[in-house]
Amino acid sequence: MNGLKKALGLLWIILGPVSIIFMFMQAFEKVGLAEEGVHKTNTALQWGIILFIFIPISAGLVIFGWYALKGEYDKLPDDDSL
Amino acid sequence: MSQEPQQSSIFKVIGASSLGTLIEWYDFYIFGSLATIIGSQLFPADAGASALINTLAIFAAGFIVRPFGALVFGRLGDLIGRKYTFLLTLVLMGGSTFLIGLIPSYSSIGYAAPILVLILRLIQGLALGGEYGGAATYVAEHAPANKRGFFTSWIQTTATGGLFLSLGIIVLTKNLVGAESFADWGWRIPFLLSILLVGVSIYIRMKMHESPMFSKLKSEGKVSKNPLKESFNNKANFKMVLLALFGATMGQGVIWYTGQFYAQSFIENTCHVDFNDSRYILLWGIAFATPFFVIFGSWSDKVGRKWIMLAGMLLGVIFYRPIYQIFLDDTDVTKIEQKDIASVSDPVVTRTVITGTADSLISTSSTVTLLNGASFQKIQSHTKFADAGKPIVELPDAYKDKKLSTPVFWKFVFLIFFQILLVTMVYGPIAAFLVELFPTKIRYTSMSLPYHVGNGVFGGLVPFIATLIASFSGSTPLSGLWYPIGIAALSLIIGTVYLSNKKPDHKEAESENI
């Protein structure tokens, strides 16, 4: 299982930037297609918000993948938190 | 600290926490339910800048602000305590809702009206971001170790409870004052009424004590000095924040929004089921499924949280497309044969002049009733050009206001019930799961962020992204489902591989483990 955790880590590292690139492409396309005026500004605003919030999430996915690749999740700490 | 708190005491804690959280959800939902009326009263008739403010008010408060609220109030909760922080979120939420009900109309104060709405909506989003983590933490820290799932699952029922309450009060108010008065001034009543509910909840919460675990930390001087730094700058804790997000809350968020919101939108807007029928279907589904929050929460105390949550995601991945295909097939009236029709009403012809032209749209509408009791409206339209030389353009037939036969109605109720059952599987145990993942001194901060990113961002974007996918060329009405299916599948894989299924230690002595 630990081998799988590490191997999948690489996938998460790749998935982070790929998803952001895909979202940027979609943003350009959809804003370009929107009618001029308020509709275009609204579409740009919505995509701006989405990119603003998804860029850190994708960065988190890359970090998650990096931790997985480094074996940080091989053994989770026993839950002694409570 | 006693290991097994008095039953009456823990139920008071649950009651006070749940009531406040239920009111927060109520406040959050009534804006969405009344958005059209609010738009007509507080925003100018022409679009312009107000459309932007409106977009921000609805979009930003729902997605962008909640995680920030989680950070701000999570930090406060770990610094000054759970009780006062989630008391503060309640006051902010209730106060904002009450004030929205008092904002003068656009005709009185101009652009100040939509700007005030935006500010109050942002405060609402922040408050909601801080509320849930506080309530879940507060209840969990009062609950015995072997019953955390059971006790925190009551908090989980409040999201659907808030939806019920908001719908109920809106319908009641509308019936009492009449549709016209409701659109004019009656819509303010549900907002203003919020202050009474909040007042009661504040009174109850003021009488509650601080969480015993936080009190113990405080008396020992072990309260975190910088919860944000300890949560996100400490690798050991940050890796658990990421695991909680990608392995659990991300999948939970999309299952939650698909089952409770996308399903209703799909039945109403894609299948064109009658307005009342679509709501009754959802209400019955929620009513039957809500007890399962507590059942799965309680069961997770015995078998662990992981597999119950992941089973909910797996069932969503497998069954979403077949379920929505049934919705489409059972409301497809184009294949109805003549022998199934009981009657067709006299046609009603309407003529609408197409704006900016002298051309007209001629629509012929008739109600078709079937032998099995179902009915629908069939609309045949064509464009008639002012220039007689141009040929008439026939438009495709449209079908709307579909009323379902009794067996199909209850089949749909079952399918919605099943989807909400999946919601209860992923959502029932998750509060206890998140609480147990993080240490007491930074728990409020650490658990609030992944919860609100998972629920608010991944879940909240289901309607937007599903609509976006449906706009791709070659897409079908079911294409939008690939978003929740994809996210749930990703979370299912990560959760299966990386999460551990620690069963609660029934002999755990809480005082030894803070």
Task: Write out pLDDT tens, residues B378-392.
Answer: 998 888 777 777 777
Q: What is the mean pLDDT of chain B?
A: 85
| CB B389, CB B365: distance < 8 Å | no
Find the closest chain B residue to A52 by CA distance: B64
The answer to whether residue A8 neighbours chain B at the CB level (below 8 Å) is: yes
Quote ipTM for the complex: 0.90
Between the alpha carbon of residue B36 and those of residues B33, B40, B45, B58, B407, the distances in Å are 8, 6, 12, 11, 33
User: Which pLDDT belongs to residue B49?
Assistant: 57
d(CA B220, CA B222): 5
More confident residue, B57 or B115: B115
Give the pLDDT confidence score for residue B504 in this predicted structure.
56
Q: Does A53 touch chain B (CB under 8 A)?
A: yes
Number of H helices, E strands in chain A: 2, 0
Least confident of B43-57, B255-269, B400-414: B43-57
Residues of A with Cβ-Cβ distance to B140 under 8 angstroms:
82
* Interface check B437 vs A, CB under 8 A: yes
Partner B contacted by A35 (CB < 8 A): no
* B223/B72: higher pLDDT: B72
Which residues are paired to B502 by β-bridges? Answer: none
In whole angstroms, how far apart are CA B66 and each of B122, B131, B147? 9, 10, 28
B315-362 residue pLDDT tens: 999 999 999 999 999 999 988 888 899 999 988 988 887 766 778 888
Q: Do A64 and B243 touch (CB under 8 A)?
A: yes
Nearest to B360 by CA among B382, B391, B378: B382
Task: Decide if B438 touches A, using CB distance below 8 A.
Answer: yes
Provide, as residue numbers in chain A, all residues whose Cβ is less than 8 Å from the Cβ of B56.
45
The reported pLDDT for the residue numbered B505 is: 56
pLDDT in tens, B459-504: 888 877 887 788 778 889 999 999 999 999 999 999 999 998 766 5
The answer to whether the Cβ–Cβ distance between B246 and A49 falls below 8 Å is no
pLDDT given for residue B247 in this prediction: 94
Residue B100 C-alpha, separation from nearest chain A C-alpha, in angstroms:
23
Report whether pLDDT(B370) > 50: yes
Query: Is the CB of A61 inside 8 Å of chain B's CB atoms?
Result: yes
pLDDT > 90 fraction of chain A, expressed in percent and rounded? 50
Confidence band for B511, pLDDT divided at 50, 70 and 90: very low
Q: What is the model's pLDDT at position B316?
A: 97
pLDDT value for B107? 85
A75–B contact, CB cutoff 8 A: no
Identity of the highest mean pLDDT range in B11-15, B29-33, B323-327, B347-351? B323-327
CA dist B448 and B130 (Å) reads 7
CA-based nearest residue in chain B for residue A29: B472
Cβ contact A60–B239 (<8 Å): no
At which residue do the structure tokens 């939806």 appear? B163
The pLDDT assigned to B514 comes to 38
Contact criterion met (CB < 8 Å) for B239 and A67: yes
Listed by number, the residues of chain B in 144-173 with a beta carbon closer than 8 Å to a beta carbon of chain A are: 145, 148
Is residue A64 pLDDT above 60, yes or no? yes
Cα–Cα distance between B5 and B495 in angstroms, integer?
33
3-state DSSP assignment of residue B476: coil
Of the pLDDT bands very low, low, confident and very high (cuts 50, 70, 90), residue B280 is confident
CA distances from B330 to A31, B165, B366, B405, B498 (A): 36, 31, 20, 10, 40
Q: Are B383 and B359 in contact (CB under 8 A)?
A: yes
pLDDT, average across residues B13-34: 79
B48 pLDDT higher than 80: no
pLDDT at B92 over 80: yes
Q: Would you say residue B508 has pLDDT above 70?
A: no
**Residue range A56-73: mean pLDDT, rounded:** 94
Q: Which residue among B51, B437, B438 sits closest to A42, beta carbon to beta carbon?
A: B51
Give the per-residue pLDDT at B446: 87
Q: For B163, what's the count of Cα atoms within 13 Å in the CB-facing half-sphere?
A: 15
- Strands B375-384 and B348-353, how do they pair? unpaired
Report whether pLDDT(A77) > 70. Answer: no
The mean pLDDT value for B119-147 works out to 85
pLDDT band at B205 (very low <50, low <70, confident <90, very high): confident
